[in-house]
Structure 1
């Protein structure tokens, strides 16, 4: 598929600066990388929305836990223990 796209001078300059930096070989590489990054961001956003919906559904079923100082201490302790266990981080808690 061939697309012809008109870019603002600012966007064109940005693409040219990326190529000039040597990180990309040409403008198409810059554009492909930008699209891959947008796709990855869409996946992360969709996963985030699904996690929020799952949490909302749990609350609707009465499965929530009251958020107290003790609950926060338990969550923090579990996170620290997990961090020191050598196991990979849960992707749900990574930025």
Structure 2
């Protein structure tokens, strides 16, 4: 399946410069790379959304820790890392 895309003048010129520089061999290669990057970003966003949903579910179910407990644990970790240096 062929895909046609109107990139507009600014993006079209950018793609042409990338191909002319030798960094990419064709316009299609540039566009494939762009779509791959979007796929990766969308996957990261989906994982983030899932983590947020789990966090909200935990909070709603009362599975939470006090801020002082969290900060104490964080401070202990940072102290341990500082001692290793």
Query: Could you tell me the TM-score, scaled by structure 1's length?
Result: 0.73
Instruction: Provide the residue aligned with 2:27 in structure 1.
Output: 27
Look up the match of 1:37: 37
Task: Quote the Cα distance in structure 2 between the aligned partners of 1:18 and 1:80.
Answer: 47
- Correspondence for 1:86: none
Matches within 5 A, 1:9-88: 9-68=9-68, 70-78=69-77
Higher deviation after alignment, 47-56 or 18-27: 18-27
Q: Secondary structure at the match of 1:62?
A: coil
Per-residue CA deviations over 1:26-58 (Å, capped at 9, x if unaligned) read 111100000000001000000000000000000
Aligned residues: 81
Task: Tell me how far apart the structure 1 counterparts of residues 19 and 39 of structure 2 sit (CA, whole Å).
Answer: 22
- 1:88 aligns to what? none
Give the unaligned 5+ runs of structure 2.
Answer: none
Q: TM-score, normalised by structure 2?
A: 0.81
Bigger Cα displacement from structure 2, 4-13 vs 52-61: 4-13
1:8 and 2:3 correspond: no
Report the 3-state secondary structure (helix = DSSP H, G, I; strand = E; otherwise coil) of the residue aligned with 2:6.
coil
